[in-house]
Structure 1
């Protein structure tokens, strides 16, 4: 670079710092106010669902009770999940001063084999329909969390959701329009058609925005769960045993039988044995230390460790000195994320199935230093490959041959149409919701539930929409030896709640919806707070970048090396420098999914809540 070019770059860097530094951001009011609370905070994907959390807090429940109430409400509102989806959570338990993980991801059912889908000429399990479904996890996840860490009854916690399903609630435009958009798919499935399209034959067949939307079959299912609990209490069982009785009824009783009957009527594979064998795992999460802050994520059955890997790679970089969203900062983030995501694409999978994921090596600080050396200062690297973490945990990589052939060739699918940019980005951001709750007793909960989103197959008269998570499996070891489809196995999901501790105390709880963008957005949120001093509300509203270089976890698992999403207000000199670095840029007014977060102010004993101004996410605090 000549002297004139260096001067232009330096001036550009100063200008972008002047425009985008946190100080200048704070000079402008945020679109939403920060939430301040002394006793509790409840944040989730819909205002009505946040109200459900507040109702349970007002009953005397703790943050786990409130989070479970919000989970039930969002599943009832199809935001953007249903009761047949999956739930994953991190909980800070003030009694033990430890973070625990909740693994309530469903598994591939009996008959869901590579050979089965290959016989159907499918390179991956489908995006929609009965063959996309893993076993339902959200009911079990909710009940196990409530039994182990909550204080109220299932009747109390399900109360708001049951009322919404039974009496109905005014459906919001986002959900109503989504049902109308997908009505042709919904018409294929008997029970989905009956529930979701109440105006069949009319021009608008879904509920109208603001119309009272009732789900009597789902209400009956929720009533059965409450009945099972109340009968157990009447028989002298304790609170935990009574909730377990409801769990049994869903996974081994009459609800299970109707779910399986309805699923198989539509052509699904789930069996009674699949439901009976499945269980929730309470597990130890993984963590890293970033400049004295402990950051916790769920392990390799989701993509969460990529955030920890990226933090390890970035820890030695002068991010603050680069300037928030300068070209140098964006380039460094993009490269670090791609290094971590390349490892995700190859090494992550269900830790309860062999082979064993090399998580100790992946999270090694020394491994991160080795990976950081691959960051080019001047150009994007479109050929970033998975690394070799095995030597950093004292073992030998059994998959070196597969690594030399990376990336794998896309599976042949002659009948499949070419993936458009619009379809690629739609699947990349596939929906979810997030739930954040904290209380004055010290409980903190972060949940990222998903699955069973519209258009979902409703299983019989249960009112429960089936998951579509099976599409996240791969079909051959060349793509990932850890995530190959097998019956009873969990697909590696994108869902990724987050907790951080500072000085041994809760500091941040944060999550976001948006498929493969989730840990990209959460990484930037965390750095906005820790490196750039933003409040949680400033940080959730701040402009993000998104890489599309990693392999999509949905659809046909495509990748777009060098593709970069930026905020539409990104200055031209930053755009120009990034173009010279080899990036293919697109621009949008919103550059992340809705981020929800709580920061715990230990100095004052209060909470700060943040909820993105994109989407319908909302919070209440007291």
Structure 2
């Protein structure tokens, strides 16, 4: 028997684009991809903590209960809205390539591109430095308090949620090739099924070391020594000194306006400018009159994405390799107007070139960050009664990252080094101490009286999904829950992936305009958001049904 949920149009409100209402509260709000993490963050708020305390607490729990996506061995970015000053500040806690990184040695071994997994993809993990940095700058609790719920779930166990179980099972064959990953992550030789209890006592002990020793336990301490020794023993690039040198950097977000709203993203090495460039291009069209997910709208959306991604492929790299003048050009209205002229409203272009100035134009397969990945990430948003709002993203890049687990620690190491290129002359070429081009990017949408932290998980999907989220709210009037529920699209190198909510006539018209159309199921990541109305103090939260998550407030 086939069971179908009641159509959202059957709801008493008559709104057809959401299956449930936004969550509303005044004292605090948090939205994450796992209910256990949301509950831990809510408890931190109820005990008197602020939004940053709640976010770090929830992020640590996610590192335990959604281990496919995030962990101690990953990277972190965040944007914080300070309730007192009303200002935004960004945090970049992505790690750098090890001091032994040698692209020439890799090409001499016959590699044309960075591998997707394994020891060569492991850069310094920045998660713990990010957690500690957020608490030091804005928090009211100690790191040990923030880690307590995560330690509990790692030691006592937690029931594996449905979507996490499916992701775990999909990557089990790769985990089975690594002895420690198999021992820790495949109990009984298989991925845990949904609803079964999973424990990671090694990770509990690691988190306790961090709670007592602070981030120094990772960056120069015994945990870092274990990471460096394991990666080096497998042929990777890291040393203890590389971990000891890691610092999380506070940065200024980059922004643009979209029909009177301001959209804030993070600068390189994140792809935030890509979302802003897309929105600047789309602003030149009457998107509302085109209709949501119409052929006209999706065509110009896909072409705007292709233009912005051509620029991403040429320019996205370590912050030191992206000049400020270039970044300001890429997010300017004037530049978008020139790029918009290249779009044929009736036909998909065969190719878009990056516009000058061009430090490098990638050609051929795997030319650096042009490579499109599914990506595995967690995103969360939180707000408190003081007006603080945080947008935070944490990731291993791919499911369980590199596939390596450090013996005795329970830590799965990320694969962020896969974002480098080996192409000579490219600003994103692998080099010691360089940060790779990064897909992770948290965001904010600010109106006259509102600020909303939002994000969408899913590697290369993130920037293009940000553009959809903003258009859904600004052009089509959707609320904080609806905007994450409606059918999304994702442009990939092989064509335009559409979810089932996009009609067949629209699909046919897109094909007629030259787009290869594909099934988008499982490719759209997951959205979370929290919005503050500064006039009333009311908080609204939304959580994507594509994940296991929950928005909750009090």
Q: Would you say same fold, with TM above 0.5?
A: yes
Residue in 1 that maps onto 2:243: 275
Quote the residue 2:355 is aligned against.
Answer: 387
For these two proteins, the number of residue pairs brought into alignment is 541
Aligned to 1:43: 31
Alpha-carbon deviations, 1:417-457, whole Å to 9, x = none? xxxxxxx99x6322111111111211111112111632631
Structure 1: distance between partners of 2:396 and 2:521? 27
Q: Summarize deviations over 1:335-365 as a string: whole Å, max 9, x none.
A: 1121111111111111134766710111121
Which has the larger displacement, 259-268 or 312-321?
Answer: 259-268
* Aligned positions of 1:11-30 closer than 5 A: 26-28=14-16, 30=18
Equivalent in 359, 365, 376 of residue 431 of structure 1: 376
- Is 1:61 aligned to residue 61 of structure 2? no
Of residues 441, 459, 464, the one that matches 1:515 is 459
Q: Residue 308 of structure 2 corresponds to which residue in structure 1?
A: 340
5 Å-filtered alignment, 1:172-571, equals 172-200=161-189, 205-228=190-213, 246-353=214-321, 358-388=326-356, 397=357, 399=359, 402-403=360-361, 408-410=363-365, 428-451=373-396, 453-454=399-400, 456-477=403-424, 481-503=426-448, 506-548=450-492, 559-560=493-494, 563-571=495-503
Q: Check whether the contact 1:171–1:212 (CA below 8 A) recurs between aligned residues.
A: yes
Distance 1:208 1:584, change over 3 A: closer
> Alignment partner of 2:312: what SS?
helix
Work out the CA distance in 1 between the residues paired with 2:166 and 2:455.
25
Paired residues of 1:448 and 1:512 also in contact (CA < 8 A): no
Unaligned runs of 5+ in 1: 1-19, 229-245, 389-396, 413-423, 549-558
Q: Deviations over 1:466-503 (max 9, x none)?
A: 1101111111146xx22111111111111111112223
- Distance, in Å, in 1 between the alignment partners of 2:160 and 2:73 is 20
Q: CA deviation at 1:533?
A: 0.7
Cα distance in 1, alignment partners of residues 547 and 211 from structure 2? 32
Q: CA deviation at 1:546?
A: 1.5
In the aligned structure 2, how far is the partner of 1:25 from the partner of 1:324? 20
CA distance in 2, matches of 1:354, 1:513: 24
Question: Structure 1 pair 534/181, CA: closer, same or farther in 2 (3 Å)?
Answer: closer
Q: Distance in 1 between matches of 2:508 and 2:210?
A: 59
Q: C-alpha displacement at 1:289, in angstroms?
A: 1.6
1:46/1:79 contact within 8 Å kept:
no
Deviations 1:494-551 (A, max 9, x none): 1111112223x54221101111111111211111111111111111111122211xxx
TM-score, normalised via structure 2 length: 0.92
CA offset at residue 328 of structure 1?
1.1
Give the Cα separation in 1 of the matches to 2:498 and 2:172: 33
Change (3 A) 1:166 1:572: closer
Bigger drift between 184-193 and 108-117 goes to 184-193
Contact map agreement 2:486 2:501 (CA 8 A) in 1: no
2: distance between equivalents of 1:376 and 1:398? Answer: 24
C-alpha contact 2:95 2:123 (8 A) present in aligned 1: yes
TM-score, L = length of structure 1: 0.82
CA distance in 2, matches of 1:462, 1:89: 26
Deviation at 1:109, TM superposition (A): 0.9
Q: Distance in 1 between matches of 2:325 and 2:203?
A: 38
User: Is the 1:90–1:99 Cα contact (8 Å) retained in structure 2?
Assistant: yes
**Could you tell me how far apart the structure 1 residues matched to 2:343 and 2:541 are?**
35
**Greater Rg by CA:** 1
| Partner SS for 1:308 | helix
How many Å apart are 1:26 and its aligned residue? 4.9
Identify the residue that residue 81 of structure 2 maps to in structure 1.
92
After alignment, is 568-577 or 605-614 more displaced?
568-577
Give me the whole-angstrom Cα distance separating, in 2, the residues matched to 1:345 and 1:220: 41
Could you tell me whether the CA contact under 8 Å between 1:40 and 1:607 is conserved in 2?
Answer: yes
- CA gap of 1:379–1:273, structure 2 versus 1, over 3 A, is same
Q: Structure 1 residues 368, 254: CA separation in 2 closer, same or farther (over 3 Å shift)? A: same
Distance 1:321 1:182, change over 3 A: closer
* CA distance in 2: counterparts of 1:444 and 1:535, whole angstroms: 18
Indicate which of 63, 67, 72 corresponds to 1:75. 63
RMSD: 2.5
Q: Secondary structure at the match of 2:377?
A: coil
